[in-house]
Amino acid sequence: MDATEAESSYFNNYPPPKALNKHKALARAFIDLQVEKHRRVVLVTSGGTTVPLETQTVRFIDNFSAGTRGAASAEQFLENGYAVIFLHRQFSLLPYSRHYSHSTNCFLDFMDEDASSAIVVRSEYQTAMRDVLRKYRLAKQNNLLLVLPFTTVTEYMFELRALAHLMKPLGANALFYLAAAVSDFFIPRDRMAEHKIQSSEIPAHPNIRSNSNPLEDGDDVYTGYNEDQPSNKSKKLVIDLDPVPKFLHRLVDGWAPEGSMIVSFKLETDPNLLVYKARTSLQRYAHHLVIGNLLSTRKWEVVFVTPDPPHERWIRVPKTRRSKSISGEENLIGLAEGQHQDGQERGGQE
Ligand code: PMT
């Protein structure tokens, strides 16, 4: 099956996300405005994608990502004059509010009551919060930030494809910055249970209707009793996952605007694999930049892997700044922007 056939087969198999049309309308208006203003637009994807185990989902598999990289990068892109479409996992970190939402302090710890019982920000947080608030207001007032949520890997794929198509009029002014942690494996729809997977046998009873997609012994998704404990009627859950089609191919070759720049991320845990995997990804998809990071050091070190020299470039936040500078997004976005600008000056990325 070629990439286009894989695309049709995947997308025809799922209903589009409920919010897709609403998101498309918002994105179309946002992009039209940015085209009119001749602004550069970056689509930042952020957070983990889920893989549901049931259609009426009670349980799901998740991909690691708090959304820190995406949210911090979005702020930096805004600082550098981009308009940002922030496609993120629902309830993961958001630009600006991230400084207060998932922090070790509860947001109430930032507040106090003054003499007249009015709620105020505690004096020690005033300066930092004023700075964040001003930047946030500026982004909103100038229509520079569009925030769109997804939850499952399928929703992510539908949204990414739709947004890339809508970004066509931006041409070389468009940048894709794919920091979301995208699931590599999923359960295809035709093998997914409709209802909550049961951990024990349901007794035959006229008032209990059977699952529309019941699990049976020998079923290749969920099989068998736990043989080690024959007296225990709990089922062992065996999950058989298929690979999620790699849509980076389609993004590069069809969905994204001609001349736009595409940056993907590569997350690994084994330091010996990181650069090799990033290079392989760049060769396979023929896009413009892979930013590699290791799970354990991702906040202060990344590697830029590019088709042109120097091919491999490490960016590290010095040890002395690590507690303050969370992830060095300033340098990272500066470099990505430099490459985007070079491409624009040549009339678009090759
Ligand atoms: O959010 P934080 O906690 O700050 O963490 C940030 C991060 C570590 C999640 C981020 O920096 C990062 O590395 N994100 C990419 C993680 C990831 O999906 O890596 P991957 O090796 O599985 O995929 C590589 C690329 O292929 C990704 O750009 C992805 O968009 C793409 N992909 C992946 C799977 C798939 N089915 N199709 C794809 O196109």
Give residue limits of the domains in the chain: 3-103+139-187+242-345, 191-240
Q: Which of 160-169, 216-225, 263-272 has the lowest mean pLDDT?
A: 216-225
Residue 27 CB less than 6 A away from ligand 1: no
To 5 degrees, how large is the angle CA 263–CA 313–CA 75? 45
* CB burial string 119-140: b at 16+ within 10 A, e below: eeeeeebeeeeeebeeebeebe
State pLDDT tens for residues 137-162.
999 999 999 999 999 999 999 999 99
pTM for the whole structure? 0.91
Mean pLDDT of 169-187: 97
What integer pLDDT is reported at residue 80 of this predicted model? 96
Do 304 and 338 touch, CB atoms closer than 8 A?
no
Tokens coding 229: 């404990």
Residue 242 CB less than 6 A away from ligand 1: no
- Interatomic CA distance for residues 278 and 281, integer angstroms: 5
- Interatomic CA distance for residues 129 and 107, integer angstroms: 12
- Interatomic CA distance for residues 337 and 350, integer angstroms: 16
Residue 332 CB less than 6 A away from ligand 1: no
Residue 246 CB less than 6 A away from ligand 1: yes
What integer pLDDT is reported at residue 207 of this predicted model? 59
Mean pLDDT over each residue of the chain, to the nearest integer: 90
What integer pLDDT is reported at residue 241 of this predicted model? 95
Could you tell which of 43, 87, 244, 248 is best to mutate to test the pocket of ligand 1, judged by most ligand atoms within 8 Å of the CB?
Answer: 248
* Alpha-carbon distances of 264 from 48, 104, 289, rounded to whole Å: 14, 30, 7
Residue type, 159: E
Is residue 110 helix, strand or coil? helix
Give the CATH superfamily of 3-103+139-187+242-345: CoaB-like (3.40.50.10300)
* Alpha-carbon distances of 272 from 154, 276, 284, 327, rounded to whole Å: 31, 8, 19, 22
State pLDDT tens for residues 89-109.
999 999 999 999 877 788 999
* Alpha-carbon distances of 296 from 61, 213, 230, 281, 345, rounded to whole Å: 21, 41, 41, 21, 37
Tokens coding 176: 């894709």
Mean pLDDT of 85-92: 98
Q: In the chain, which ranges are E strands?
A: 41-46, 50-52, 60-62, 83-89, 111-113, 119-121, 145-150, 174-178, 185-186, 242-243, 261-268, 289-294, 301-305, 312-316
Taking the alpha carbons at both ends of the chain, their separation in whole angstroms is 27
For residue 206, the CA-to-ligand 1 centroid distance in Å is: 48
- Interatomic CA distance for residues 35 and 86, integer angstroms: 17
What integer pLDDT is reported at residue 234 of this predicted model? 65
**What value does the CA radius of gyration of the chain take, rounded to a whole number of Å?**
23
Residue 51 CB less than 6 A away from ligand 1: no
State pLDDT tens for residues 209-240.
544 444 454 444 443 333 344 445 567 889 99
Cβ neighbours around 160 below 10 Å, total: 24
State pLDDT tens for residues 281-330.
999 999 999 999 999 999 889 999 999 999 999 999 887 777 654 557 88
From the alpha carbon of 264, which atom of ligand 1 is closest? Answer: 28
Q: What is the largest CA-CA distance in the chain?
A: 72
Q: Which of 1-10, 124-133, 322-331 has the lowest mean pLDDT?
A: 322-331
Q: Is the peptide bond before 310 cis (omega within 30 degrees of 0)?
A: yes
Q: Which long-range contacts (CB under 8 A, 24 or more apart) does 108-112 make?
A: none
What integer pLDDT is reported at residue 4 of this predicted model? 85
**Torsion angle of the four alpha carbons 209, 210, 211, 217, in this order, in degrees rounded to the nearest 10:** 160
